[in-house]
Structure 1
Amino acid sequence: MRIAGVLLAAGQSSRITSGHHKLLAEFDGVPLVRRSAESMLRSGLSSVLVVTGHRSTEIERVIDDLPLSVVFNDRFSSGMGTSLGCGFRHQSLNGCAGALIMLADMPRITEQHIDQLIATFRALDGRQVVRGASKGKAGHPVVIPATLFERLKQLEGDEGAKVILQDAGVETRLVDLGHAALIDVDTPDAVRSAGGLLKN
């Protein structure tokens, strides 16, 4: 059962001031977007696709030696829905039983967390949405069954996958990944609290 990975790295870092980009913040000397991509590549995912947008040249520069695919979302400023739609339309998802969606600004997510989600998805025969959580609170990453791909290809604007998942009536299984499932870095304080250093 092949499961593709889609890393969302197109956002504008609007809550990070002074011209910095959170995905270029360094954690243990590694830019965050590269750290996230490497965790996905070390996991059991069959492929990794990175969706870029804001400051795409810089983002792509720090991952250009990794064995992954990159697609540019030219409508990234319209919201996350456009990036999801862009990712789900990519050929790397063809023939996959599911796709793991990961936000690039979650520094505590490791390949072990990703493999937990993959194992649960496979145990459920790819029939349910599998979502990272902490103490019952839903977080990320999320594994989406192939039966929902066509609907997600149509996402627009800032619309997320939540409404589609609810309307489809597909069950969601939460997998406790600890606090890592809830930690993202949307502000300079959040970057520093998570152990990062804003560089660019």
Structure 2
Amino acid sequence: MAGLLLAAGSGSRLGWPKALVEFGGERLVDRGVRTLREGGCDPVLVVLGATETEIDGVTTVRNPGWSSGMGSSVRAGLDALPPTVDAVLIALADQPLITPDAVRRLLDTRGEGARAAVATYRGNQRNPVMLGREHWSTVYALAVEDVGARPFLRTYSHLVTPVECQDVSRPDDIDTPEDLERLTGLLEQT
């Protein structure tokens, strides 16, 4: 299954592009790629926009419409997936406490027949999200402005397998310097 890491944002509230933010000794983009790889994703694609950067061993996808929001990154990433890929796991670079264990759990549901799955935390849907190819066109059509797969997950909830990940992962976002400081503290406690 392919991994798709969305890392195109400028980090306007943070002060610099999130992909380049150092967290736990590595850039968020590198941490996200490592998480997807260790979780079992191959190939891994990274959608960039506000900044360009070198990332070893991945396909980078340039999203010229990155400033319009996450929806354009979802669409750019789906467009770039190889035709041999029949499912993708989508993750966000600004959620550095997502673990390879959470990725593996979602991939396991695919092996058990799920065609769409979402990580949940105490019952709340967050990221990452796994989507079989048959759902990509619907997700593509619904991914607009700063909205990714959320409308698909809500509208087609009967098709989506929830996967509880609270015991192995955290979906906290880094949006501000305070978030970065708080999550760095959480990382140091583990």
Q: TM-score, normalised by structure 2?
A: 0.87
State, as a whole percentage, how many aligned pairs show the same letter: 31
Q: Is the 8 A contact 1:140 1:181 kept in 2?
A: no
Match of 1:130 in 2: 117
Q: Does residue 1:10 correspond to 2:12, yes or no?
A: no
Write the distance in 1 (CA, Å) between the matches of 2:107 and 2:122: 19
Q: Does residue 1:146 correspond to 2:144, yes or no?
A: no
Q: Is the 8 A contact 2:10 2:18 kept in 1?
A: no
Superposed, 1:13-24 pairs within 5 Å as 13-17=11-15, 20-24=16-20
Q: Does residue 1:162 correspond to 2:150, yes or no?
A: yes
Question: Where does the alignment leave 5 or more consecutive residues of structure 1 unmatched?
Answer: none
**What secondary structure sits across from 1:194 in the alignment?**
helix
Q: Does residue 1:46 correspond to 2:42, yes or no?
A: yes
Q: Is the 8 A contact 1:139 1:181 kept in 2?
A: no
Shift of 1:41: 1.6
Q: Runs ≥4 in structure 1, deviation > 6 angstroms?
A: none
Write the distance in 1 (CA, Å) between the matches of 2:132 and 2:158: 9
Match of 2:188 in 1: none
Write the distance in 1 (CA, Å) between the matches of 2:92 and 2:160: 19
Residue type matched to 1:147 in 2?
Answer: E
Q: Does residue 1:77 correspond to 2:74, yes or no?
A: no
Write the distance in 2 (CA, Å) between the matches of 1:149 and 1:22: 26
Q: Is the 8 A contact 2:97 2:171 kept in 1?
A: no
Residue type matched to 2:13 in 1?
Answer: R
Shift of 1:39: 1.4
Write the distance in 2 (CA, Å) between the matches of 1:24 and 1:160: 21
Question: Where does the alignment leave 5 or more consecutive residues of structure 2 unmatched?
Answer: 186-190
Q: TM-score, normalised by structure 1?
A: 0.83
Question: How large is the Cα RMSD of the aligned pairs?
Answer: 1.9
Write the distance in 2 (CA, Å) between the matches of 1:181 and 1:172: 20
Q: Is the 8 A contact 2:66 2:72 kept in 1?
A: yes
Q: Is the 8 A contact 1:97 1:126 kept in 2?
A: no
Match 1:195 to one of 174, 184, 188: 184
Shift of 1:168: 4.5
Residue type matched to 1:4 in 2?
Answer: A
